[in-house]
Amino acid sequence: MTRVWKWNRPVTVREVLEDLQRERSIAYTTVMTVLDNLHQKGWVRREAEGRAYRYEAVSTRPAYAAALMNDAWSQSDNPAAALVAFFGMMSEEQRHALRDAVRIVQGPETSEAAADTAPDTAADTRDENPGSAPEGGGR
Protein backbone atom coordinates (compact mmCIF):
# COMPACT_ATOMS: atom_id res chain seq x y z
CA MET A 1 0.00 0.00 0.00
CA THR A 2 2.85 2.37 0.78
CA ARG A 3 4.05 2.25 -2.82
CA VAL A 4 0.55 2.71 -4.25
CA TRP A 5 0.03 5.80 -2.03
CA LYS A 6 3.52 7.07 -2.91
CA TRP A 7 2.70 7.14 -6.62
CA ASN A 8 -0.64 8.88 -5.94
CA ARG A 9 -2.05 7.61 -9.25
CA PRO A 10 -3.01 4.24 -10.74
CA VAL A 11 0.10 2.05 -11.03
CA THR A 12 1.03 -1.20 -12.74
CA VAL A 13 2.71 -4.19 -11.14
CA ARG A 14 5.80 -3.41 -13.24
CA GLU A 15 6.03 0.16 -11.86
CA VAL A 16 5.74 -1.03 -8.26
CA LEU A 17 8.25 -3.81 -8.96
CA GLU A 18 10.83 -1.42 -10.40
CA ASP A 19 10.32 0.95 -7.49
CA LEU A 20 10.82 -1.85 -4.94
CA GLN A 21 13.83 -3.31 -6.76
CA ARG A 22 15.77 -0.12 -6.06
CA GLU A 23 15.89 -1.27 -2.43
CA ARG A 24 15.79 -5.07 -2.61
CA SER A 25 15.43 -8.06 -4.88
CA ILE A 26 11.79 -9.06 -5.32
CA ALA A 27 9.93 -11.16 -7.88
CA TYR A 28 7.28 -9.84 -10.25
CA THR A 29 4.88 -12.57 -9.11
CA THR A 30 5.26 -11.50 -5.48
CA VAL A 31 4.23 -7.93 -6.28
CA MET A 32 1.41 -9.19 -8.49
CA THR A 33 0.12 -11.48 -5.71
CA VAL A 34 0.23 -8.74 -3.09
CA LEU A 35 -1.62 -6.27 -5.33
CA ASP A 36 -4.19 -8.95 -6.18
CA ASN A 37 -4.68 -9.69 -2.46
CA LEU A 38 -5.12 -5.97 -1.76
CA HIS A 39 -7.69 -5.85 -4.56
CA GLN A 40 -9.60 -8.83 -3.15
CA LYS A 41 -9.62 -7.21 0.31
CA GLY A 42 -11.02 -4.01 -1.20
CA TRP A 43 -8.03 -1.78 -0.46
CA VAL A 44 -7.23 -1.10 -4.14
CA ARG A 45 -9.34 -1.02 -7.27
CA ARG A 46 -7.98 -2.07 -10.62
CA GLU A 47 -8.70 -1.39 -14.25
CA ALA A 48 -7.47 -3.41 -17.16
CA GLU A 49 -4.99 -1.70 -19.42
CA GLY A 50 -4.01 -4.00 -22.25
CA ARG A 51 -2.75 -7.22 -20.70
CA ALA A 52 -2.01 -5.59 -17.34
CA TYR A 53 -3.96 -3.89 -14.58
CA ARG A 54 -3.55 -0.45 -13.11
CA TYR A 55 -4.10 -0.41 -9.34
CA GLU A 56 -5.30 2.58 -7.35
CA ALA A 57 -5.81 3.03 -3.60
CA VAL A 58 -9.45 3.05 -2.51
CA SER A 59 -8.77 5.06 0.64
CA THR A 60 -6.17 7.38 2.07
CA ARG A 61 -3.32 6.22 4.24
CA PRO A 62 -4.89 7.73 7.42
CA ALA A 63 -8.22 6.00 6.70
CA TYR A 64 -6.38 2.71 6.14
CA ALA A 65 -4.51 3.05 9.45
CA ALA A 66 -7.75 3.91 11.25
CA ALA A 67 -9.47 0.84 9.81
CA LEU A 68 -6.59 -1.38 10.95
CA MET A 69 -6.72 0.07 14.47
CA ASN A 70 -10.50 -0.31 14.60
CA ASP A 71 -10.28 -3.91 13.42
CA ALA A 72 -7.67 -4.79 16.04
CA TRP A 73 -9.61 -2.99 18.78
CA SER A 74 -12.91 -4.63 17.89
CA GLN A 75 -11.32 -8.09 18.20
CA SER A 76 -10.36 -7.50 21.82
CA ASP A 77 -12.39 -9.16 24.56
CA ASN A 78 -11.67 -6.11 26.74
CA PRO A 79 -11.62 -2.98 24.53
CA ALA A 80 -10.95 -0.62 27.47
CA ALA A 81 -7.89 -2.61 28.56
CA ALA A 82 -6.68 -2.73 24.96
CA LEU A 83 -6.95 1.06 24.72
CA VAL A 84 -5.11 1.56 28.01
CA ALA A 85 -2.31 -0.72 26.80
CA PHE A 86 -2.20 1.05 23.44
CA PHE A 87 -2.09 4.52 25.02
CA GLY A 88 0.70 3.28 27.30
CA MET A 89 2.79 2.45 24.22
CA MET A 90 2.39 5.93 22.76
CA SER A 91 5.13 8.51 22.71
CA GLU A 92 4.44 11.97 24.09
CA GLU A 93 4.11 13.24 20.52
CA GLN A 94 1.53 10.56 19.74
CA ARG A 95 -0.45 11.43 22.90
CA HIS A 96 -0.53 15.08 21.81
CA ALA A 97 -1.77 13.99 18.38
CA LEU A 98 -4.47 11.90 20.09
CA ARG A 99 -5.59 14.89 22.20
CA ASP A 100 -5.73 17.05 19.07
CA ALA A 101 -7.76 14.40 17.25
CA VAL A 102 -10.25 14.13 20.12
CA ARG A 103 -10.66 17.92 20.11
CA ILE A 104 -11.32 17.86 16.36
CA VAL A 105 -13.90 15.08 16.64
CA GLN A 106 -15.65 16.74 19.59
CA GLY A 107 -15.77 20.09 17.85
CA PRO A 108 -14.96 23.52 19.26
CA GLU A 109 -18.19 23.86 21.28
CA THR A 110 -17.61 20.61 23.18
CA SER A 111 -13.92 21.31 23.75
CA GLU A 112 -14.59 24.82 25.06
CA ALA A 113 -17.41 23.64 27.33
CA ALA A 114 -15.22 20.88 28.75
CA ALA A 115 -12.40 23.36 29.42
CA ASP A 116 -14.79 25.79 31.12
CA THR A 117 -16.36 23.16 33.38
CA ALA A 118 -13.31 20.96 34.04
CA PRO A 119 -12.04 21.59 37.55
CA ASP A 120 -8.38 21.84 38.40
CA THR A 121 -8.45 18.42 40.04
CA ALA A 122 -5.15 18.80 41.88
CA ALA A 123 -6.24 22.08 43.50
CA ASP A 124 -9.73 20.76 44.26
CA THR A 125 -8.33 17.67 45.96
CA ARG A 126 -6.05 19.75 48.19
CA ASP A 127 -8.90 22.09 49.11
CA GLU A 128 -11.31 19.27 49.92
CA ASN A 129 -8.81 17.17 51.88
CA PRO A 130 -6.41 19.56 53.59
CA GLY A 131 -5.18 16.94 56.08
CA SER A 132 -4.66 14.16 53.54
CA ALA A 133 -1.19 12.89 52.78
CA PRO A 134 0.37 13.77 49.43
CA GLU A 135 0.19 11.18 46.68
CA GLY A 136 2.64 8.35 47.23
CA GLY A 137 2.19 8.37 51.00
CA GLY A 138 4.38 11.46 51.55
CA ARG A 139 7.48 9.51 52.39
Confidence of residue 56 (pLDDT cuts 50, 70, 90): very high
The one-letter amino acid code at 113 reads A
Helix/strand/coil percent split, the chain, to 5: 65, 10, 25
Does residue 133 register a pLDDT over 80? no
Q: Which residue has the higher pLDDT, 107 or 137?
A: 107
Residue 64 banded pLDDT, cuts 50, 70, 90: confident
pLDDT-derived band at 68, boundaries 50, 70, 90: confident
